[in-house]
Amino acid sequence: MSEQLSLDIPEPSSGGGQVVFFAVTPGAAASARLSAVGKQISDASLYPPARFHISLLGLRLDVRSGDLDAMREVGSAVAAAPFEIVLPTACSFGNSLVLCCAAETTAAMAYLQHALLREAKMKWPLRAKGRYTPHLTLAYRAPRIPPTVLADPVRWPAREFVLVGRDRRRDGYACFGRWPLN
């Protein structure tokens, strides 16, 4: 598995910051299916369904400054067509259990990620390192598994992307914005 895209991200001016990121998230039915698949292929402790997502682009920001509004502007500036998320294989990605995107899904996610990165570079001095490999993490600290083709790939229609950040009060994310794919 190739390395995941990382960014050289300047620290927020206040020195603190929260990681916020754009992502595509599954609905309730797809989340239930993701949990079932995870339990079938590993005895790892899975994330709760509220944390399932495929990351597009993340930054460490001071959410109390204008940075969050700037991220919302980035999301508003991006247009892309809806597409289908297809996750046909499971594998280990470092010490994580992940589901990997099919080629068509990877292409659509890469287009959306590139559009977000292009807009974000107008606001912050970002440099991408590595290659973007869209995937959905089911669990961290999971036993390694060989690449496994699922008998029935997990699928859902991607009709929007969201801007989220970790909500420490609950086991999920706080949503800071959502944009339709159309």
- Distance of alpha carbon 53 from alpha carbon 135, whole angstroms: 8
Q: Give the model confidence (pLDDT) of 115-142 as tens digits.
A: 999 999 998 887 767 788 999 999 999 9
Contacts (Cβ under 8 Å, ≥6 apart) of 139:
38, 42, 44, 45, 46, 47, 96, 97
Residue of higher predicted confidence among 148 and 168: 148
- Do residues 181 and 160 touch, judged by C-beta distance below 8 A? yes
pTM score, two decimals? 0.87
pLDDT at 16: 54
Q: Give the model confidence (pLDDT) of 2-44 as tens digits.
A: 334 444 334 434 445 688 999 999 999 999 999 999 999 999 9
Could you give phi then psi for residue 54, rounded to 5 degrees? -115, 115
pLDDT at 5: 43
pLDDT at 169: 64
Radius of gyration of the chain measured on its C-alpha atoms: 16
Contacts (Cβ under 8 Å, ≥6 apart) of 83:
104, 105, 108, 157, 158, 181
Q: In the predicted model, is pLDDT for residue 145 greater than 90? A: yes
